[in-house]
Each structure stands twice: as structure tokens, then as C-alpha cells.
Amino acid sequence: MIVDIKERLGKTKYDVDKSYAHITVDERICEKCPHHFCVMACPAQCYTLQDGKLNFQYEDCVECGTCSVACDQGSVKWTFPKAGKGVIYKYG
Amino acid sequence: MPDYDAIVVGAGNAGSAAAITMASKGLSVLLVDRSDPPGAKNLSGGVLWGNDLARILPKWQSEAPLERYIQNKKIGFLTDDSSIIIDFKTKIFEENKVGYTVLRSKFDPWLAKKAKEAGAMVIPGITVESLAKKDGKIVGVVESGDTITASVVILAEGINPRLAIEAGLREPLQDWEVSVGVKEIIKMSPQKIEDRFNLTSTSGMASEYIMGNLKELNVGAFFYTNKDSISLGIVSPMEQLRANGVTHTYDIIEQFKEHPSIAPLIEGGTVAEYGAHMIPEGGLEMIPKLYGDGYMIVGDAAGFGFSNGLVLQGMNYAFLSGILAGETAVEAKGRNDFSENFLALYKQKLEGSYVLKDLKTFKDIRKVTNNKNMYTVYPKMLESILLEMLWERGQPKKKVRDILSSCAADLNLSKLKTATDFYYIYRRM
């Protein structure tokens, strides 16, 4: 029963805040990052590498905070989404 | 005059327990949560044991939205091909019914409702932006530019404590302090769950596994039955994920689901939800300063979690720390003293409870749980012993002693290292 991560994320409910990205990354720092550990650590595949360049999207974020620890280069700025926005677990 | 006696940030188990404790003693309490309904950001990867909850809500068993009581607890070791499971089923669990599986999106709104019934003002869907400080004291919270004040702020913001970090009340989290938990809900009919796991309509099963089939990582896994779904997931230490550097956390859970002994258990089920959460696993060393002028820190935000690879404790520490912080606030109100000096009482209460006692008793547990042999070598060794003992291959049988030494040789394990490992397990677990 192998399910692709995108399909699994598709089962989870969100109210995405289109006007506010609660996590931002500094591309200039990511460019020089020696490991891009965020790509491995993020359980929601928000961080991907495309031709060696880090790509980040916050829309699928499940707000676990893993990247705030995984990034040891000072690139990730982590804040809580605004009032009620973001992931809304139906089961938990 | 502050707006409230107490503001609680976060309506999870710790925050709501604190709010109930204070409001029921007549304190004016504001309980805010950044999700609406409260708890919709929370995941449970454990069993809720209600001993502490019973202190504030004696009728919790009949009122709370619970899934199944734990009648059957399993501890398992997985290798590539095998599973070795200790299956503990006892009439004692059946008669006491104090351990339950829960789904937080149902349980947390109920607990927040209880806080409201106790007299607290509960406002979900509020993201506190920062803590308000004055003369080095915490005096309230800031939201949408407004400051709401309180004699004491109880921080129950969970494992990713942005407010506490921002206000300099604790250091940012380090790799060794956390594990990454990844969880899925697999939908399945109650009938199928009860037939498959030999349960009644109210009883449930909770299993913990050591995943010996992952070569580089010490990963624990869990598998619980709910009424009409399965909760399953993996817990992987951040330190090892970084050292390993090639494994996606979202793939590890699939490896668990694909294991030959797990796949048949979820056959016919469908994935209904995917989620992830960090878990505090740094033990005593990760606990920040728990109180100061005008604040106390409770639950996951304080790092109150415990794991020995087979038992995960978080929700119960959350209830008790919330209750103890609440009791401290009630006494502080009586003396009209919310200074650091008086709130030290919170830590004294914790030290007298099993929360800090457990964390002290098992302060060196990471020496066991970080030992790679525990996860990769010993399950394999157990498998070899069982194969040798239980598989008739038309060859002369060996004594256990001889099986052990040939296993150790096959697995490249020195006697001294094995002896040291077991010494640590014996001393620290």
C-alpha cells in the first residue's frame, strides 16, 4: 500500500493563508548550504532541490517545526500561521 | 489591574488542564489557541492514561470522546523478514480501563469546552504574536498589536515554542532534543478492526515497535486501534536523520507500512490523513527554566516527554504539569504574589511528582536509545536465536550459548561491546 507523499498530503485538510507565508527562507543562504538537510527532514516535502537549487513552498506545511531545527544555517524564519489558518487535522 | 488573573497560550492537554484547574478555583482565565477548533494542529502518538485527568475531571471516562480502551499492549522488534512480538493482554487492563486511544481533533475541543464550563474565557483561532514584557517581567500577550495583560502567563504552546524562544525564555531547540514523528490515519470499519485484532466493540490494542530493518536509523514505530481507524507512525531522532542525510522522513513511514508483518494489518484500509509533529526526547537536559516573574511553562513546551524506544509519554506529563502550574497560580493569587520567587512552587510540585522523578530516573536513557545496536543488531540477534531454536532444518541443535556466540560473530559484535550494551540497558532503562 505505498502511497506517494503528494497523494498522502492531499488527504490532509488545510486553510491556506494565501496572503501570508508563515515560513520564509533566505535563498542567498540556501545557495551556499553544504547539506540541504531540510529536504530530507521535512515530512511534507515543502523543500525540494531542482538542479541543485532549493525550492520552498509553505502551502503543504503541517507546522511540525522540524525545519526550524533542521536548518542550522540561519535561513529558515519560522512563525505561526495567522489566526486559524494552516493545517486543520480532522483526526489528529 | 491586569485584564485576567491568568492567560494560557495553547489549548492542548497541558493548557486546558491548567485553565480548568484555575477557573474552577475562581480565577479569571483567558485560554487562547491558534487553531479553530482548538487542538486541530495536534497529533497523538501515544496512549492517554487518565490518572491525572481524573483529578480535575472525575467523570472523564464517560464524558470524553475516547476511541478504545487499551486491553492489549504489544512490544515488537522488526527485522527485514521477521517480527518478534511480546503480546501482553491482561484482565487488569480490562477491569481498570484507564488507558485509551484518542484522536486529538475530537478530544482537545472537548477538553477546551470543559475549561469553558469551569469558567474560563476560551478563544480559539487566535495566534499570539509575542509576550508582553515590562521591567523584565512577563505581563501579558500581544495579538494584532493589542496587549492583553495578566498576573501570570502559562505557556502551553507545544513542542515548537516560538513565543518562549522569541522572548528569550528558552534556547532554540537542538537536534538532540527532538525526534520527528510522522503519522497516518488509516480508515477501516470497526468490524474489520475487531475481527483482525481480536477485539470487542470497546477494547483496543496499542503496539510499539523497534524498526530493526532500517540500517542507519534508530526508529521507533507505533500502531494503535481507534473506533473506525488505525493510528500508525514512526519516530525518528533528528540527530540521526542529520547524520544519515539520505533518508526522507516521509519514506520511513512507508517502510513501516510495507513491512511483511505490518502490511497485512492495514490491508483494505485507506489513508485518511497524513501529519507530522516533533516530539521532545531530550529528557531532563532539555528542560528550560520552568518559571519566572509572571510565567510558567508546561507540557511539550517545557520538554516534558519521555521515550525509551518502547514507551512514549507526553500527554500524561502534559495533564499533570498543567494541573500543577494551575494549582501554583491559585496559591499565587491567594498571596497576590506572582513573582519568580513564589512561582518556584511549580517546580517543587513537579519535583514531587512522577514527571520530574521519571525524567531524573531515566536521565541517561539516551545512551540506550541512541545505541545503534539496540535497533539494528539485537533484533537481528533475536531473530537468529529464534530461527535456530524453532526451525527444524534436519541439523543438530545448538545450545543457546553457542547460538549467541555464533550470532555475535556473524554480526561482527565483540563480547566486550555486547556486555557493555547490556550493562547500560540494565543500569539506565
Q: How many residues are there in chain B?
A: 429
The pLDDT value given to residue B389: 86
Q: Please answer yes or no on whether A69 and B172 come within 8 Å at the CB atom.
A: yes
Q: Which residues in chain A touch residue B44, judged by CB atoms under 8 angstroms apart?
A: 92
- What letter would DSSP give residue A43? T
- Beta carbons of B279 and B45 less than 8 angstroms apart: yes
The pLDDT value given to residue B287: 95
Quick one: chain B helix, strand, coil %, rounded to 5? 40, 25, 35
In terms of domains, do B181 and B242 share one?
A: yes
The pLDDT value given to residue A9: 96
In terms of domains, do B267 and B307 share one?
A: no
Residue B316 lies in a domain: yes
H-state helical runs in B161-219:
162-166, 190-197
Q: Into how many domains does chain B fold?
A: 3
The pLDDT value given to residue B361: 87
Among B318, B340, B363, the domain boundary falls at: B363
Alpha carbon of B249: minimum distance to chain A alpha carbons (Å): 5
**Calpha distance B83→B258 (Å, rounded):** 13
Kind and range of the H or E element at B278?
strand B270-280
Contacts 24+ apart (CB under 8 A), B137-145: B137/B292, B137/B293, B137/B294, B138/B167, B138/B169, B138/B292, B138/B293, B138/B294, B138/B295, B139/B2, B139/B294, B140/B2, B140/B3, B140/B7, B141/B7, B141/B9, B141/B32, B143/B32
The pLDDT value given to residue B216: 82
Count contacts between A and B (CB, < 8 Å): 152
> What is the extent of the structural domain holding B257?
176-280
Alpha carbon of B279: minimum distance to chain A alpha carbons (Å): 9
Residue B97 lies in a domain: no
**Calpha distance B2→B19 (Å, rounded):** 17
Phi, psi angles (nearest 5°) of residue B135: 50, 40
Is the pLDDT score of A25 beyond 80?
yes
In terms of domains, do B16 and B137 share one?
A: yes
In terms of domains, do B137 and B34 share one?
A: yes
Closest Cα in chain B to A80: B127
Q: Which residues in chain A touch residue B271, judged by CB atoms under 8 angstroms apart?
A: 3, 7-8, 11
In terms of domains, do B107 and B23 share one?
A: yes
Helix then strand count (H, E) for chain B reads: 18, 19
Which residue has 508582553 as its cell numbers? B132
Domain ranges of chain A: 5-87
Q: How far apart are the first and last CA of chain A?
A: 21
Closest Cα in chain B to A78: B162
Kind and range of the H or E element at A40?
helix A37-41
- Beta carbons of B309 and B378 less than 8 angstroms apart: no
B91, three cell numbers: 484482565
Interface test with chain A among B41, B131, B256, by most A beta carbons within 10 Å: B41
**Which of B39, B125, B269 is closest, CB to CB, to A92?**
B39
Which residues, given as ranges, of chain B have pLDDT below 70? 309-310, 429
Alpha carbon of A62: minimum distance to chain B alpha carbons (Å): 6
The pLDDT value given to residue A2: 65
Closest Cα in chain A to B179: A66
Q: Please answer yes or no on whether B245 and A65 come within 8 Å at the CB atom.
A: no
**Which of A65, A88, A90 is closest, CB to CB, to B35?**
A88
In terms of domains, do B256 and B286 share one?
A: no
Torsion of CA A31, B160, B354, B40, to 10 degrees: -130
Q: Please answer yes or no on whether A43 and B250 come within 8 Å at the CB atom.
A: yes
Kind and range of the H or E element at B389?
helix B377-390
In terms of domains, do B54 and B128 share one?
A: yes
What CATH number should be reported for the domain holding residue B223?
Answer: 3.30.9.90
A 24-53 residues inside an 8 A Cβ radius of B: 35, 37, 39-45
Q: Please answer yes or no on whether A2 and B257 come within 8 Å at the CB atom.
A: yes
Among B323, B342, B363, the domain boundary falls at: B363
Residue B392 lies in a domain: yes
Q: Which residues in chain B touch residue A91, judged by CB atoms under 8 angstroms apart?
A: 103-106, 185, 226, 229, 231, 272-273
Residue B81 lies in a domain: no
Q: Please answer yes or no on whether A43 and B266 come within 8 Å at the CB atom.
A: no
In terms of domains, do B171 and B212 share one?
A: no
Residues with Cβ within 8 Å of B77's Cβ and at least 6 positions away in sequence, in order, are B83, B84, B85, B209, B210, B212, B378, B379, B382
Q: Please answer yes or no on whether B124 and A80 come within 8 Å at the CB atom.
A: no
**Calpha distance B272→B228 (Å, rounded):** 11
- Beta carbons of A92 and A12 less than 8 angstroms apart: no
Q: Please answer yes or no on whether B35 and A84 come within 8 Å at the CB atom.
A: yes
**Calpha distance B230→B265 (Å, rounded):** 10
- Beta carbons of B321 and B329 less than 8 angstroms apart: no
- What is the architecture, at CATH level 2, of domain A5-87? 2-Layer Sandwich (3.30)
The pLDDT value given to residue B313: 84
The pLDDT value given to residue B309: 62
Closest Cα in chain A to B124: A84
In terms of domains, do B349 and B332 share one?
A: yes
The pLDDT value given to residue B55: 95
Residue B313 lies in a domain: yes
The pLDDT value given to residue A1: 54
In terms of domains, do B189 and B253 share one?
A: yes
The pLDDT value given to residue B407: 77
Kind and range of the H or E element at B329?
helix B315-335
Q: How far apart are the first and last CA of chain B?
A: 50
In terms of domains, do B121 and B257 share one?
A: no
The pLDDT value given to residue B401: 81
The pLDDT value given to residue B311: 73
Contacts 24+ apart (CB under 8 A), B195-203: B196/B265, B197/B72, B197/B225, B197/B265, B198/B72, B199/B68, B199/B71, B199/B72, B199/B225, B200/B71, B202/B68, B202/B69, B203/B68, B203/B69, B203/B70, B203/B71, B203/B72, B203/B94
Q: How many residues are there in chain A?
A: 92
In terms of domains, do B166 and B314 share one?
A: yes
Q: Please answer yes or no on whether A12 and B275 come within 8 Å at the CB atom.
A: yes
The pLDDT value given to residue B233: 97
User: Taking the model in full, what pTM does it have?
Assistant: 0.95
What CATH number should be reported for the domain holding residue B164?
Answer: 3.50.50.60
